[in-house]
A and B are shown apart, each in its own frame.
Chain A
Amino acid sequence: MTVAIQHLPDRQLAPLLRAYRQAVFQRRIRFLVGTSVLFFCVMLGGWWVGFDIALLASKIDTFTNYFGRIFTLDDGKPVLSDPVEWYWGLIKWSKLLGETLLVAYTGTILGAVIAFFTCFAAASNLAGATTRWVARRFLEFCRTVPEIVFALIFVLAYGLGPMAGVLALAIHTLGALGKLYTEIVENIDMKPVEGITSTGGSRAETIFYAVLPQVWSGFATYTLLRFEINFRGASIMGFVGAGGIGQELLTAVRKFYYSDVSAILVMIVVTVFVLDILTGLVLKRLNRVG
């Protein structure tokens, strides 16, 4: 296909071009300043952490080799040639993976339940200013401190094991879900609330009959997504001794049990995939029902 484009004569083109340049000039300047500030910050940061591109370049094949190495058995054969040898610890690892899932589930539910009771106190349409302030600062604190820091402290308080992991995940979940739940509650239609209040309903009745029917599907959606995130969180809880498969992975990496590293990583990634697909299916159903 041939396309003919008519060029305007220069005399007509010049003022148009000038107008265009003027229009973009300011944006260009702003973009340039922004990029230079960012560039300066990046350079400063690179200097601060000792970022060494030469080191990276010389070690990049170590990185790729590492992946080659972890997919090789101790006798030098690729892992797929002998899956039984590769997954020699399948039973042990499956148990730990199950524990990881259970830690994620229990932590999510505990956190979600407390978040459920907190969110009505943090919502601007259902709570007074003081209650709201307290509830919000509480939720903020719970989600800003990373879960693994809570896990480190809980391991000292409650002893090693999955209990510390469950509690740490629960607290972080409480903070994260509490905020999301609050946002949902703040966006409801207030007419049903007025209706129930006008008939003399108590606060619990108002929430149960006027708020809940509007928010439950949103709550369920966020909780499911949080469960997925928490599985990833639970997979590293073992790094600090708070249960799950992380401990085993840490040992395998630190002691250079190469094929074990790949075996555990593959198990984690596959589980994440499966959870992703399952939550997708459940969400689809949920949105149809709700």
Chain B
Amino acid sequence: MTQIFDPSRFSSIAARHHEVMRLGARQRQMMFAGAFLGVLLLVFGLIEADFSLSRIINGTGKLGDFAVLMFPPEPGPLFKTYLHALGETLAIALLGTVIAAILAFPFAVLASRNVLPFWLTRFVVRRSFDTIRGVDTLIWALIWISVVGLGPFAGVLAVATADFAAFGKLFSETIETADPKPVEGIRSTGGTAAQEFRFGILPQILPVIAGQILYYFESNTRSATIIGIVGAGGIGLHLSEQIRTLEWQRVAFLVLMVLAVVAVIDFISSRLRTAISGAKPI
């Protein structure tokens, strides 16, 4: 292929298509300033985090050793324990998601403008959701452990707490985007407020909400695999233990188990989601 692009012609093209080719001078200056600051901050961050060539080379070498030691993946004598822990992880994700969804729904209704037109309740409920969402699942796990003790029960409660807020926000946004026409229709036939909600809004939002719940179940399967690191049940406990004791073959096996389960759950959940969204509403 011949080289056709000739840099010297660029300026004449730019001159002809002046308004297309040139960003505003101010805009360009701002972009450069922004990019410069960004790079500066990145370099500062790398220095602060002690990135040095020797450390990178040493560490990557060690990482390579770990990777070699991972083969072949092998469960050791604790295979049954791991399976049980994996079941626990799934149960934590499922229970946490379901509990969160059930608890979040009424609060989400309170925070929806088209159902409850008081700004005060909406404001309070929404800000509470935001506050709870600001705290990570793992931190909630720590807090619940000091309440109900170590074990998967604390994990369920942690996932439920974190998701409660996420669902509250999502559900209320979904309810607010519902089409008001069915509600008006029911009102015109003399329906009560409860009937307006049940027959006007609910049929519209249920498929969407079901999809959201399934999506969160998927992502919770991932977060439930790590919640054991602080002692809140599931496979994370074994994973962090085997990493700390440098049993790399078992680590590899556990990671593979997690990846397999996540893939299976993803598959089932995406199937269900398309089935739900494809189903016709009443």
Flag whether B4 is at the interface (Cβ < 8 A): yes
Flag whether A109 is at the interface (Cβ < 8 A): yes
B262 contacts A200, C-beta separation under 8 Å: no
Interface centre among A49, A105, A165 (most CB of B within 10 A): A49
B243 contacts A152, C-beta separation under 8 Å: yes
Those of B1-17 within 8 Å (CB) of chain A: 1-5
Flag whether A154 is at the interface (Cβ < 8 A): yes
B49 contacts A159, C-beta separation under 8 Å: no
Which of A200, A265, A273 is B1 in contact with, Cβ under 8 Å?
A: A200
B143 contacts A48, C-beta separation under 8 Å: no
Flag whether B131 is at the interface (Cβ < 8 A): yes
B98 contacts A38, C-beta separation under 8 Å: yes
Flag whether B109 is at the interface (Cβ < 8 A): no
Cα of A253 to Cα of B147 in the assembled complex, Å: 11
Interface centre among B49, B95, B130, B135 (most CB of A within 10 A): B49
B208 CB to closest chain A CB (Å) equals 16
B59 contacts A154, C-beta separation under 8 Å: yes
Q: Mark B126-170, 1 if CB is under 8 A from A, else 0.
A: 000011011110110011101110011101110000000000000
B134 contacts A159, C-beta separation under 8 Å: no
Flag whether A180 is at the interface (Cβ < 8 A): no
Which of B2, B152, B239, B243 is A50 in contact with, Cβ under 8 Å?
A: B152
Q: Which residues of B contact A166 (CB under 8 A)?
A: 45-46, 49, 51
Q: Which residues of A contact B259 (CB under 8 A)?
A: 141, 144-145
Q: Name A's interface SS.
A: helix
B135 contacts A51, C-beta separation under 8 Å: no
Q: Which residues of A contact B4 (CB under 8 A)?
A: 199-200
B153 contacts A50, C-beta separation under 8 Å: yes
Q: Mark A95-111, 1 if CB is under 8 A from B, else 0.
A: 00001001101100110
B72 CB to closest chain A CB (Å) equals 18
Q: Mark B227-269, 1 if CB is under 8 A from A, else 0.
A: 0011001000001100110100001000100110011000000
Q: Which residues of B contact A152 (CB under 8 A)?
A: 229, 239-240, 243-244
Flag whether B18 is at the interface (Cβ < 8 A): no
Cα of A52 to Cα of B46 in the assembled complex, Å: 47
Q: Which residues of A contact B151 (CB under 8 A)?
A: 49-50
A149 contacts B239, C-beta separation under 8 Å: yes
Q: How large is the interface on A (under 10, 10 to 19, 20 to 34, 35 or more residues)?
A: 35 or more
Q: Which residues of B contact A27 (CB under 8 A)?
A: 282
B190 contacts A42, C-beta separation under 8 Å: no
Flag whether A74 is at the interface (Cβ < 8 A): no
- Which of the segments B36-44, B73-81, B117-125, B172-180 contacts the partner chain? B36-44
- Which of the segments A75-83, A121-129, A231-239 contacts the partner chain? A231-239
B45 contacts A103, C-beta separation under 8 Å: yes
A161 contacts B136, C-beta separation under 8 Å: no
> Which A-chain residue is minimally distant from B27 (CB atoms)?
A289
Flag whether A193 is at the interface (Cβ < 8 A): no
A51 contacts B59, C-beta separation under 8 Å: no
B34 CB to closest chain A CB (Å) equals 10
Given contacts A50-B153, A102-B48, contact A253 B143 (CB under 8 A): yes
> Which A-chain residue is minimally distant from B98 (CB atoms)?
A42
Q: Which residues of B contact A201 (CB under 8 A)?
A: 5
Which of A52, A62, A159, A165 is B153 in contact with, Cβ under 8 Å?
A: A52
Q: Which residues of A contact B138 (CB under 8 A)?
A: 148, 236, 239
Q: Mark A79-99, 1 if CB is under 8 A from B, else 0.
A: 000000000000000000001
A102-B49, A152-B243 given; 8 more Cβ-contact pairs under 8 Å: A49-B92, A51-B156, A144-B258, A148-B138, A152-B239, A156-B246, A157-B62, A166-B45
B contacts, CB < 8 Å to A: 1-5, 27, 38, 41-42, 44-46, 48-51, 55-56, 58-60, 62-63, 66, 87-88, 90-92, 94-95, 98, 130-131, 133-136, 138-139, 142-144, 146-148, 151-153, 155-157, 189-190, 222-223, 225-226, 229-230, 233, 239-240, 243-244, 246, 251, 255, 258-259, 262-263, 282
Please list 15 pairs of residues, one from A and one from B, whose beta carbons are closer than 8 Å in the complex, sorted by A's number.
A42-B94, A49-B155, A55-B153, A146-B225, A149-B243, A154-B63, A158-B55, A158-B62, A199-B5, A200-B4, A232-B136, A239-B229, A249-B139, A254-B142, A268-B135
